[in-house]
Amino acid sequence: MLNRDRRSDYDEGDLEVGDRKKAAAGVTGVAVAVKRSLEQMGLMRSAETLLELNQAEGFDCPSCAWPDPDPGHRKIAEFCENGAKAVAEEGTTRRADPGFFARYSIAELAGHSELWLGKQGRITHPMVKRPGATHYTPIEWDEAFTLIGEQLKSLDSPDQATFYTSGRASNEAAFVYQLFARAFGTNNLPDCSNMCHESTSIALQESIGIGKASVTLDDVHHAELIILQGQNPGTNHPRMLTALEEAKQNGAKILTINPLREAGLVNFRNPQTPRGVLGRGTDLSDLHLSIKVNGDLALLQAFGSLLVEWDALDHDFVQSHTRGFDEWVEHVRDIDWDEVVAATGLSRQQITEAAQMVRRSKATVFCWSMGITQHRNAVATIKEICNLAFAQGNIGKRGAGLMPVRGHSNVQGDRTMGIWERAPQSFLDAIEKEFGFDPPRENGYDTVDSIKAMRDGKVRFFLGLGGNFVQAAPDTAVTAEAMAGIDMTVHISTKPNRSHLVCGRTALILPTLGRTDKDVQASGPQFVSVEDTTCAVHASRGPLKPPGGHVRSEVAIITGIAEATLGDRYGIDWKAMRDDYANIRSRISRVVPGCEGYEVNVRRPGGFILPHPPRDTRSFETDSGKAEFAVSPVEVVQVPPGHLLLQTMRSHDQFNTTIYGLSDRYRGIEGGRRVVFMHRDDIAALGFDDGDFVDLFTRWDGDDRERCATRFRIVEYDLPRGSAATYYPETNPLVPLDSTALKSNCPTYKSIVISLTPAGNRDDECPDVLGTAPVGSDWSHKTTPEPKHLS
Ligand SMILES: Nc1nc2c(c(=O)[nH]1)N[C@H]1C(S)=C(S)[C@@H](COP(=O)(O)OP(=O)(O)OC[C@H]3O[C@@H](n4cnc5c(=O)[nH]c(N)nc54)[C@H](O)[C@@H]3O)O[C@H]1N2
Ligand SMILES: Nc1nc2c(c(=O)[nH]1)N[C@H]1C(S)=C(S)[C@@H](COP(=O)(O)OP(=O)(O)OC[C@H]3O[C@@H](n4cnc5c(=O)[nH]c(N)nc54)[C@H](O)[C@@H]3O)O[C@H]1N2
Ligand SMILES: [Mo]
């Protein structure tokens, strides 16, 4: 019997494949938002949260990092369907209390799906799994802190600990967290960014001297051309559609580049306008290029080649602000069109038509997300986007610029606050000056290197500030084995997830307040601050009564651990920071560049925007003081015959590893998630039919481990030949740990070479890694609970 069945709380037999949608949002989106809110929170809490969401005096949406309009321009309901789902998940009245953890052994919990785990509700008490135990049991906070402190103090070196962060942590929490890690003595500060926009941060840092977007929301509204590449805003940044609609009304053109013609790229029915509700909505994409997975670098160089040929260049900008132009021209001039056509799956005519749009625009905004960053050649591709922007002077002027669209609501702020395994020396100098100790100077482990270090016995302690490390990371079997082999795993979490079930010898879950919760400390009610994808920083105040008296804020938990570990080392007053977060912000104002006057600025309605030299003054803090053209050879992943290039993406009903439900409505998938989208000719060529069930195997020469994921239903879909798509995280077992992007070390979640076999033939060789969760010392007993249906 397949292990997979053990954790199936829904029957994949219920999976239905229907019509794809040609428009995003509309009244269905509102209806779904309201329904999910009412289910989880009831009427009062729904009203309380949804009206304060993204308002100037309210709280910041815990979903994505899309910016808010200026305070005067916000609507009464300034949120989207998926923002409302995120709030409902967190504001839920369901509770995973000590009774819940007594009812199920850890092995039994591991038999359930991620969907089921999340539906159990908010964690209410600190919980511990002691060595040899089968269950989590409650523990007092002080004892938990002591246990963690003792463990940390027992390590041979501070570098045997790693401190992960997911991008929901507030700036205040992030700042004290990195301070604690560095005072303890390590730069091992991996974060979700290492799996996300790390390729962006590296490429932009090298090309323009700062790793962040050079645009504001106003620029999007006033662009002549917006290029959306490798991004699915209708699902992952739905409020972006409102900005795109406004841009269209101002005359912008939109060019979309994606293997899938996602509904949110095609048409937007804005539920806030009569036209969106009653009319046919706004057409967004003027031209769509269904590019082959990983074909973007070749496409961008072809654009460059044509712009050079047409002399559609801003020579003044190039002359005064850039370096390396001639070499770049030399390189793109003789691109091989046959190679470009093969790599992109697009005709020369299609590419030329798109390039004409680029040529005509006097102000272009380049947007991208995971479809670009999670490839082996991601850094080169992003530098190529920069090249195009430089060639036409599309940076540091209204309506133009580089716009990586970040994921987690505060992933950018966390980095600004020093969550960075390779923080610049200047940041470390500022820490030294402010706190009077010399922080470690060597680079720490990022996410992939932390996994390797745990696997190899070099790291013995893991602390996660949010996130779901085991599910989000690549090579699930390897990661889970690595985590299960260490001395202690600690998770600061809002809700149960898979990572709690892959335990070190001792494991702790520390329940924390989320963005929606009221946070009251000794000095009174607190607020926190966050930064969006356009460098705008503002305050956030949760409105809801927290889930019980035992749940603590992230700041309170981190400072508690710091006190238990460090005592009064370096005289850092952790208590003062916990009692009044203004004491953290005053430190931030002296350590973090651009945050002078933080307390005052962040309290303004709408907050403030961090400085960005290329955006503000067209100055570039690179080594040469210029924007750097880069020359990159076109390398694309070679796919042998009989194989496909798989990308792993999000459905409309999940937030990363949190599965909200089973409805990927825009793509026509209902009631299940184990699907593999394929082109009809690939289905036929590989000898299958639409609707067949298959097992997926990775082809990887780096080691001889077999990687597989079983029983996926083939769904015929409109995507380029040779490319396939599945949902994340079900297919993370297929991503080899060593398969990462050059320079950024970001896992190549969007390009995995796979083969397919009929399902069920190779069960023995292909156990489902999460169902059998490997197993530290005391995982030996396994149970097989009956599959349950969700009520
Ligand atoms: N509701 C919701 N919102 C979210 C999230 C969520 O899970 N749910 N996650 C948040 C996070 S952390 C992030 S990072 C963002 C992610 O936001 P996205 O980057 O939009 O997320 P993905 O689903 O990974 O989608 C990637 C898109 O890239 C396309 N793509 C894949 N490969 C290629 C390629 O080679 N070339 C091109 N041009 N396109 C390609 C896919 O078809 C897909 O449309 O969203 C954030 N917001
Ligand atoms: N195959 C594949 N893998 C991927 C990706 C992909 O596209 N394909 N995308 C990658 C990307 S872009 C990212 S960002 C990572 C995401 O990786 P993570 O950030 O690690 O994962 P999440 O699923 O966002 O984390 C969800 C958990 O965070 C906890 N949580 C929620 N809110 C809070 C809070 O306010 N405070 C605290 N302390 N905890 C909270 C909850 O317990 C919840 O279970 O995954 C990466 N993995
Ligand atoms: Mo992300």
Q: Is 703 helix (H, G, I), strand (E, B) or coil?
A: coil
The pLDDT of 514-534, averaged and rounded, is: 97
- The pLDDT tens digits for 548-574 are 889 999 999 999 999 999 999 999 999
Q: Output the pLDDT for position 99.
A: 98
Atom of ligand 1 nearest to the CA of 85: 1
Between CA 320 and CA 620 the distance in angstroms is 11
Share of the chain above pLDDT 70, in %: 95
**C-alpha angle 515-518-522 in degrees, rounded to nearest 5:** 120
Neighbours of 339 (CB within 10 A): 14
Q: Is the pLDDT of residue 3 over 50?
A: no
The pLDDT of 574-585, averaged and rounded, is: 98
Q: Output the pLDDT for position 775.
A: 31
Q: Is the pLDDT of residue 118 over 50?
A: yes
Contact 526, 520 (CB under 8 A): yes
Ligand 2 lined by 122 (C-beta under 6 Å) = no
Between CA 51 and CA 79 the distance in angstroms is 9
Which pLDDT band, with edges at 50, 70 and 90, does 71 fall under? confident
Nearest protein CA to atom 8 of ligand 1, as residue: 655
Give the ligand with the smallest distance to the CA of 646: 1
Give the ligand with the smallest distance to the CA of 728: 2
Buried b (16+ CB within 10 A) or exposed e, 679-718: beebbeebebeeebbbbbbbbbeeeeeebbbbbbbbbbbe
The pLDDT of 589-610, averaged and rounded, is: 96
The pLDDT of 278-290, averaged and rounded, is: 91
Share of the chain above pLDDT 90, in %: 85
**Measured in angstroms, how far is the CA atom of residue 408 from the centroid of ligand 3?**
6
Q: Output the pLDDT for position 764.
A: 56
Q: Output the pLDDT for position 769.
A: 53
As given in the structure block, the two tokens for residue 767 are: 């156990």
Ligand 1 lined by 229 (C-beta under 6 Å) = yes
Nearest protein CA to atom 38 of ligand 2, as residue: 466
Between CA 271 and CA 241 the distance in angstroms is 11
Q: Is 632 helix (H, G, I), strand (E, B) or coil?
A: coil
Give the ligand with the smallest distance to the CA of 528: 2
Domains and CATH numbers, the chain: 21-91 (no CATH), 95-184+410-605 (3.40.50.740), 197-405+620-628 (3.40.228.10), 644-758 (2.40.40.20)
- The pLDDT tens digits for 233-276 are 999 999 999 999 999 999 999 999 999 999 999 999 988 887 77
Give the ligand with the smallest distance to the CA of 191: 2
Bridge partner residues of 322 (DSSP): 627
- The pLDDT tens digits for 645-694 are 999 999 999 999 999 999 999 999 999 999 999 999 999 999 999 999 99
Q: Report the residue count for the chain.
A: 791
Which pLDDT band, with edges at 50, 70 and 90, does 776 fall under? very low
**Measured in angstroms, how far is the CA atom of residue 296 from the centroid of ligand 1?**
15
The pLDDT of 69-75, averaged and rounded, is: 82
The pLDDT of 205-224, averaged and rounded, is: 97
Which pLDDT band, with edges at 50, 70 and 90, does 780 fall under? very low
Between CA 365 and CA 210 the distance in angstroms is 17
Flag the least confident range among 185-199, 262-276, 319-333.
262-276
**Measured in angstroms, how far is the CA atom of residue 472 from the centroid of ligand 2?**
6
Q: Output the pLDDT for position 7.
A: 47
Q: Output the pLDDT for position 271.
A: 85
Please state, rounded to an integer, the average pLDDT across all residues of the chain: 93
Ligand 2 lined by 727 (C-beta under 6 Å) = no
The pLDDT of 373-396, averaged and rounded, is: 98
Contact 196, 407 (CB under 8 A): yes
Higher-pLDDT residue of 608 and 788 is: 608
Pocket probe mutation, ligand 2, options 494, 501, 558, 726, max atoms within 8 Å of Cβ = 494
Which pLDDT band, with edges at 50, 70 and 90, does 347 fall under? very high
Q: Is the pLDDT of residue 152 over 90?
A: yes
Nearest protein CA to atom 37 of ligand 1, as residue: 230
**Measured in angstroms, how far is the CA atom of residue 296 from the centroid of ligand 2?**
26
Q: Is the pLDDT of residue 332 over 70?
A: yes
Q: What is the DSSP string of 768-788?
A: -TTTT---STT------PPP-
Q: What is the DSSP string of 228-267?
A: EES--HHHHSTHHHHHHHHHHHTT-EEEEE-SS--HHHHE
**Measured in angstroms, how far is the CA atom of residue 221 from the centroid of ligand 1?**
22
**Strand pairing category for 644-649 and 723-727:** parallel
- Residue tagged 């780096």 (tokens): 702
Cis peptide before 259 (omega within 30 of 0): no
- The pLDDT tens digits for 460-497 are 999 999 999 999 999 999 999 999 999 999 999 999 99
Ligand 2 lined by 168 (C-beta under 6 Å) = yes
Ligand 1 lined by 408 (C-beta under 6 Å) = yes
